[in-house]
Amino acid sequence: MNKEKEESKKYIFPFGNNKAEGGNHLKGILGNKGAGLAEMSKMKIPVPPGFTISSKICKEFTNNSNQLPESLKELILSAMTQLENAIGLKFGDENNPLLISVRSGAQISMPGMMETILNLGLNDTTVKGLAKITKNPRFAYDSYRRYIEMYSHVVLGLDKSKFEAILHNKKALLGIKKDQNLTEENLKDVIDEYKNLVKNILNKDFPQNITNQLWSAISAVFKSWNVPRAIKYRSMNNIPNDVGTAVNIQAMVFGNKGEDCATGVVFTRNPSTGENEIFGEYIVNAQGEDIVSGAITPSPINIKSKEQCFGDEKSLEELMPKAYQELKTILHKLELHYKDMQDVEFTIENGKCWILQTRSAKRTAHATIKIAVDMMQEGILTKQQALDNIEPEIVEKVLHPSIDPRAVKIFLSKGLPASPGAAFGKIALSSSKAEIMARHGEVILVRNETNPEDIGGIGASSGILTARGGMTSHAAVVARGMGKPCVTGAFEVMVDNEKSTVKINNTILKEGELITINGSSGEIFLGKVGTIQTKLDKSFENLIEIAEEFALLKVMANAETIKDAKVAKNFNACGIGLCRTEHMFFQEDRINIFREMILSQNLEERSKILNQLLFYQEEDFYQLFKIMSGLPVTIRLLDPPLHEFFPQNDEDELGHMSQLMSLNLKDIKNRVNSLKEANPMLGHRGCRLAITYPEIYQMQVKAILRATHRCIKESIVTIPEIMVPLVMNKAEFMMLKSLINDTANTLEKELNTKFVYKLGSMIELPAAVINAGEIASEADFISFGTNDLTQTCLGISRDDAGKFLRTYMEKGIFFEDPFSSIHEQTVGELLKMAVISSKKHNPAIKIGICGEHAGDPASIKFFNKLKIDYISCSPFRIPIAKVSAGKYNAKV
Ligand code: PEP
Ligand code: MG
């Protein structure tokens, strides 16, 4: 540790010739590239020698008005002398010149954002020495041409395209297609033209003092940390601004020395498919910049990569088999060392392979999973390490279509990423329109907000976009349950139902026009943007198995329809952790009976209607029990904020209701109005409804147990768990517990049977947290409804938060949407309190979470630490929840 501390105080870190000062442990100051070069040197991988200047200097440099400290210059000159001695060449020597590269390299790689200079050390004199000693004047002048172009652009700030034009014109004049076919004489002409260009623009000659050029090149690389594109990249990728870049100075090796030389980029596995076969491209007789800039079209690295490309260029495997094998061996060694797929830059100089950079390779979501699982099966990674290499969010990407990264996009606006995946379709501004339009193609339902009436429209649409609502609003919860992409809280979306248009930001679109939404990022695009979907394969299954092996938390499903329950079963859910019974009444054949029940004005009327509902409920529960045979099914008794069940200002729908219920329109309106509450989320809902109307819960309990009875007779193992919502204290819970047990006793006598069921309470209110111990002492289980608990703890409406939460996050009051990721300091603390007191009062208590947070990886990491029993989430989030539960438990 002390050694590390001492080491990190140094400014210069030499590497090469199978040894190095520093390594991966000093990545913070050596940067990704520098740490890799040091590490590779120690692994005896051929790396051109050199040294890294610590990224700490970058900050000093910026604070020092972009000047290099004199003391540093001395250190660099002495490191240069060491380098000269190591390879027997001399910087600036007329006969034997040392050429170097000067490259940036931050801790987190920022591809293409900062500067690089190659072939430094050349001037009008040394170029001659290089030509002589290598007996290859063409190579020497090619390198000098490249150097002038790069230095002029990076250090002198001249426009690169002017140099490219000179080269292009020269080739056109000579009728030459490839740079490689330019002769020594041609290159000398180009150099003269380059120098004239510099003189014309700057009114002075191209500089010849190479030591000054060295200082300028290092300064230019440090400066490039603060160019606008680098700043933008950092802000987009959450990279801190103050870490700075290191600078790597390295002896040049040359891929442009002749036909037995090459340069290339190679991945140790296929980054698109994850296949265990090296994949990449190379160019003969060229330098690395030619690949990066796209100036020359590269050829495939091996016969396998060639199969996936067009053209009949020879692969490196065919052209330089020995160097290819050498490269392959190195790649394997690197993968074993880093225990991850690598992205490697190499140069072949006269048949010898040199490695210039190695870093963890970017890859598709599908490849990420395949590679982690393959590496585990190949014995490179332990199961734990394989899980460690997977960010749970990747799992969502393979389950849902995503925006094709190559697609052209016209951005319109952004809302909250409420349900992952991408979808395009024609805009439908009402659910009825969506259902009709969906018969002829894809539809995106665009609404101010949705309510239970929209269920048909949501079901028919490919995606949902709402102007209002947050991460747990109706649209978000329902879309997530159905596995459909959804963007909520898009406040720049303004629906004009009168004109059948929607204004998104400043663009006005008509119903029927195409848009695309990305529910993983919240983005909204104009028109149809291409999407991609990968197929799930064996490695996905394997990953889930590994996660299950490590997970402490069982993953259950929030499901109430047969379809949802089947999806959950397919994803191997450990049962149903939340069946929201009110959602069972949304189908067309039931919604009006349900509404009638709510609107009924006396017990007699209500009991009659409840009898009709009993029939539906029993059948629904029976189906769920059958699908989940042998697994617990947690049925939450009715919890409707009543307003959700009625059309708000829809005259047609109210008219339809009046016909069905044989009530006049005025009466219906009056009754609906009488249900209106100023604050319905805190109104006559949850178990409060059953305290005033116990017959509702009686009917539901009867339905649950009658369904159980049918199952028993058919030998279907059924484990019903009855859950009471929005409980505040023990008295409330006890009253309902008696009601439930009495109903069960009566039914037992009627059916001459004995039922085994569990009885539990949701914990969704701060009051319930305070009383959790007492409630738990009377319950078999408790389940935290973190949606309502967040709402009631923070005093922020889950339905309206979309409007202002973004500002809260921008201003740093919240780092994450608290309805999406658990707010640990507040709601998290309540959870901790309640878990401790519940366990104290009832050590056998089963504890779970069933709010939307149960599908969020960061929240699951926190829940894992609570040592509770289960989490219950939307069926399509089961895989991400399982991977998170496994990954975060494997780490503790
Ligand atoms: C909750 O509040 O977290 C919960 C699961 O219940 P609902 O979302 O149905 O209110
Ligand atoms: Mg709730």
**The residue to which tokens 């929240």 are assigned:** 859
Q: Which two tokens stand for residue 440?
A: 């002829």
333 Cα: distance to centroid of ligand 2 (angstroms): 53
Q: Is 2 helix (H, G, I), strand (E, B) or coil?
A: helix
Which numbered ligand comes closest to the C-alpha of 726?
2
- DSSP character at residue 97: B
d(CA 385, CA 339): 9
Q: Tell me the per-residue pLDDT of 819-835, one tens digit each, with 9 for 90 and over.
A: 999 999 999 999 999 99
**Phi and psi of 422, rounded to 5°?**
-120, 145
Below-50 pLDDT ranges, the chain: none
For the CA of 787, the closest atom of ligand 1 is 3
Helices (H), 405-507: 431-437, 455-460, 474-482
Instruction: Indicate the average pLDDT of the chain.
Output: 92
Report the residue among 585, 787, 820 best suited for mutation to probe ligand 1: largest number of ligand atoms under 8 A from its CB: 787
Predicted pLDDT at 664: 85
686 lines ligand 1 (CB under 6 A): no
Q: In what order do the strands lie in the sheet with 507-510?
A: 493-496, 501-504, 507-510
Asked whether 60 and 69 are in contact (CB, 8 A), the reply is: yes
Asked whether 575 and 628 are in contact (CB, 8 A), the reply is: yes
Asked whether 397 and 540 are in contact (CB, 8 A), the reply is: no
Residue nearest to atom 8 of ligand 1 (CA): 787
Active site residue 793: no
867 φ/ψ sector (left φ>0, alpha ψ -120 to 50, else beta): left
Neighbouring residues of 260: CB distance < 8 A, sequence distance ≥ 6: 320, 348, 350, 351
Asked whether 705 and 757 are in contact (CB, 8 A), the reply is: yes
d(CA 373, CA 647): 50
Q: Which two tokens stand for residue 409?
A: 């996009």
For the CA of 764, the closest atom of ligand 1 is 2
Which numbered ligand comes closest to the C-alpha of 789?
1
d(CA 69, CA 189): 39
434 lines ligand 1 (CB under 6 A): no
Residue nearest to atom 1 of ligand 1 (CA): 785
> Distances in Å between the alpha carbon of 473 and those of 403, 450, 451, 486, 747?
24, 8, 9, 11, 37
Report the residue among 576, 636, 788 best suited for mutation to probe ligand 1: largest number of ligand atoms under 8 A from its CB: 788
Q: Which two tokens stand for residue 120?
A: 């430094």
Which numbered ligand comes closest to the C-alpha of 582?
1
808 Cα: distance to centroid of ligand 2 (angstroms): 24
Asked whether 817 and 416 are in contact (CB, 8 A), the reply is: yes
- DSSP character at residue 90: B
Q: Which two tokens stand for residue 750?
A: 């009627």
The pairing of strands 245-251 and 100-106 is: antiparallel
Which entry of 687, 850, 853, 873 is annotated as an active-site residue?
850
558 Cα: distance to centroid of ligand 1 (angstroms): 10
641 lines ligand 1 (CB under 6 A): no
CA nearest neighbour of 154 among 79, 237, 223, 85? 223
b (16+ CB within 10 A) / e for 392-425? bbbbbbbbbbbbeeeeebeebbbbbbbbbbbbbb
Sequential DSSP letters for 865-888: HHT-SEEEE-GGGHHHHHHHHHHH
For the CA of 578, the closest atom of ligand 1 is 5
For the CA of 852, the closest atom of ligand 1 is 3
For the CA of 786, the closest atom of ligand 1 is 3
For the CA of 784, the closest atom of ligand 1 is 3
Residue nearest to atom 10 of ligand 1 (CA): 788
CA nearest neighbour of 412 among 527, 564, 562? 527
787 lines ligand 1 (CB under 6 A): yes
d(CA 421, CA 873): 17
Predicted pLDDT at 823: 97
785 lines ligand 1 (CB under 6 A): yes
Could you tell me where the beta strands, DSSP code E, fall in 429-565?
Answer: 443-447, 463-466, 486-488, 493-496, 501-504, 507-510, 514-518, 523-526, 531-532, 554-558
850 lines ligand 1 (CB under 6 A): yes
Residue nearest to atom 3 of ligand 1 (CA): 785
Which numbered ligand comes closest to the C-alpha of 827?
1
681 Cα: distance to centroid of ligand 2 (angstroms): 9
Could you tell me where the beta strands, DSSP code E, fall in 581-617?
Answer: none
764 lines ligand 1 (CB under 6 A): yes
Distance from first CA to last CA of the chain, Å, rounded? 23
583 lines ligand 1 (CB under 6 A): no
Active site residue 153: no
Report the residue among 556, 580, 723, 797 best suited for mutation to probe ligand 1: largest number of ligand atoms under 8 A from its CB: 580
Predicted pLDDT at 599: 86
Residue nearest to atom 9 of ligand 1 (CA): 580
Predicted pLDDT at 111: 73
